[in-house]
Structure 1
């Protein structure tokens, strides 16, 4: 008899071990919190012969216990119990198993649920759910239904063991959910950033009178700029900054720039355009968000700019003589007051440059902010550079500090190209004609004031560029032709070259240069072009041409051969 009881006890013990092991394996495989809670509750209730079971988790504020899953005749999912009261809280506070064989004799038992649901609670086992000794919830089983109406010490120990496994599984599922949520948020932010970047204009042709740059401080930006060529030849432009950060600011930025691109085609007065955008923003903006924005039109024929300002930093005009002119800005941002009329302001460039910028520009530099005066100093320092290169160099300097950017950087500059066309050189794709090309270019650069060193470097670079067209573009077909356009910008002391051909379209990514130390034919001119030119880019060619290679260089630039 004793041996049989021992065998029965051993058998029950093995079953308990197998149950704990199998439940632990299920918990390990489960990564969804709801599934983990469901498995925990049902399996524990079934194995311990309970009438009901539930899992309560502490809310993030630590003020209430919330029922996340329950099983049994009464559904109390979502039930909220103030933390600090009741048997659940007692189990967590003491971080130990609570065995209540008769709830009527326990002053912490809350009868409200029984009164409301007509359920009768007789006895409770309640174990805390804890990680590293810190409880975050509790699991309880109610009313033993087996042959014995009371929970035993052994069942209490089993629940304590199972609660430890369940706590780990719930914690793991929670962390997984948080990681997934963070990854989803990261993907949403990345997508918002992609959408934003797609709304910004692509780099225009080199001689286009506007150029802009946007550098987000984070994945998404609250700054924006845009420009659009209108059918009458004028160019609509805008630059703005949305209040706040994050996804909401990104959405308002995307909406504002889309409104501008749509409405600027019919609202040809900047003040009325801003008024129309303002009305649209007011209808849908929330959380006190607003937009500071400048919108305007530029007429390349008479170099006239007309713009309106809605609470943005005033533009800076650098006149052709180097004198700076500021403009007052006294109108409120978009999205604050409806029915506002925004005044138009007129600026004659007359060879000058108009700079629009966000506060991320003047506030760059950490404790030593750039400020308005610093921006003007920087503009002067790079004034001799071609437009696109000038803004890129300014942004490089703004980012050069050891501290990360505190705010987005956005710059937009408008100026009339001051290039004087010098020559259009047309040649057959015959290497023998390169001698005349070199002679003509040498004379043009010298007449513009280029030194012997810069002149010869330019001649070498252009000779190789033309040879690449002959050899690689036309495959030696001497019946083909190419064209070299030469211009000079006196204000900036810059030579501009545009090489046009009728060859198949070039993939710039496949063009590679090699070191000067690698002395053999081919590829050397590509090195010179990359090292010498301030700008070198394959641009969209005019109709009828295959490729357009744009190059520009300042005549006061040190050449590769002069560098130490």
Structure 2
């Protein structure tokens, strides 16, 4: 949990002109089931777009964004979708780097409380694989498949696939938590102009200071994974909640 951040709070406003869900405090992956239940309740009770009020959210981790995106994506082809209302600057920056932003309708595109925004070509896949090096290839294959379905060309996504390979290798090497049945989870969200991939494990984690560049031999076979990720994609971020999640984002203007 972020320092000095309050636990997540939810407030349903079903009787507003536009039904709304206000979220506050710090949001992590364990909170998403409560958010999803509240959103499902509002969409079942109303035939209008539902507002997400994020004005009082202090922080939200990448795993929570990925889980929330799954639910928002499920509604993306419906005439009534989720509308983003208040949002603070820090959370705005998080969303700008995440394909979840592609699924949210905007106020100016809502006419008579119904969304007329064109549906984006977006795809999502979330899967878990055993912490075995042979699964690295399968993870890259599934990311490539999602990217292709969203309209991204193979020549555009080579760098991302290399970065995914590094992230998965780290998850397998350092995130197995000592159990033979350990696994890692990959969340891939793709639109026609952005690709976001999160790789999560259940290991002990590390501090960002541990990732600072160190002087190593030019012939060293390990120790450069995180540096490579930063070189290959536009944004690399980490969250630590019962393990480590690394999120990789690449934009295609």
1:488 aligns with 2:176: no
Kept in 2: contact 1:422–1:487 (CA 8 A): yes
SS at match of 1:552: strand
2:146 is matched with 444
Deviation string for 1:73-95 (max 9, x for gaps)? Answer: xxxxxxxxxxxxxxxxxxxxxxx
The two structures have a TM-score, normalised by structure 2, of 0.53
SS at match of 1:539: strand
1:527 aligns with 2:227: yes
1:169 is matched with none
Matched ranges for 1:203-218 at <5 A: none
Counterparts in 2 of 1:477 and 1:430: CA distance versus 1, 3 Å = farther
1:266 is matched with none
1:511 is matched with 211
1:16 is matched with none
Counterparts in 2 of 1:417 and 1:504: CA distance versus 1, 3 Å = farther
Matched ranges for 1:464-503 at <5 A: 464-474=166-176, 479-490=181-192, 493-503=193-203
Q: Which runs of 5+ in 1 are unaligned?
A: 1-197, 205-227, 238-260, 262-298, 307-347, 358-385, 393-414, 557-564
Kindly indicate whether structure 1 or structure 2 has the higher relative contact order, using CA contacts under 8 Å at least 6 residues apart: 2
**1 CA distance for matches of 2:160 and 2:203?**
23
Matched ranges for 1:106-121 at <5 A: none
2:103 is matched with 418
SS at match of 1:506: coil
Counterparts in 2 of 1:431 and 1:509: CA distance versus 1, 3 Å = same
Query: How far has the Cα of 1:550 moved from its partner?
Result: 2.4
1:304 is matched with 51
Counterparts in 2 of 1:471 and 1:356: CA distance versus 1, 3 Å = closer
Counterparts in 2 of 1:450 and 1:424: CA distance versus 1, 3 Å = same
Q: Which runs of 5+ in 2 are unaligned?
A: 13-19, 26-37, 43-48, 54-79, 105-121
Who wins on radius of gyration, i.e. which is larger? 1
Matched ranges for 1:141-220 at <5 A: none
Query: How far has the Cα of 1:535 moved from its partner?
Result: 3.2
**2 CA distance for matches of 1:488 and 1:351?**
20
**2 CA distance for matches of 1:473 and 1:533?**
22
1:230 is matched with 10
Deviation string for 1:86-109 (max 9, x for gaps)? Answer: xxxxxxxxxxxxxxxxxxxxxxxx
Q: State the Cα RMSD in Å.
A: 4.2
- Which of 160, 163, 167 is 1:461 aligned to? 163
Matched ranges for 1:82-481 at <5 A: 229-232=9-12, 234-235=21-22, 302-304=49-51, 387-388=92-93, 418=103, 420=122, 422-474=124-176, 479-481=181-183
**1 CA distance for matches of 2:143 and 2:52?**
36
1:555 is matched with 252
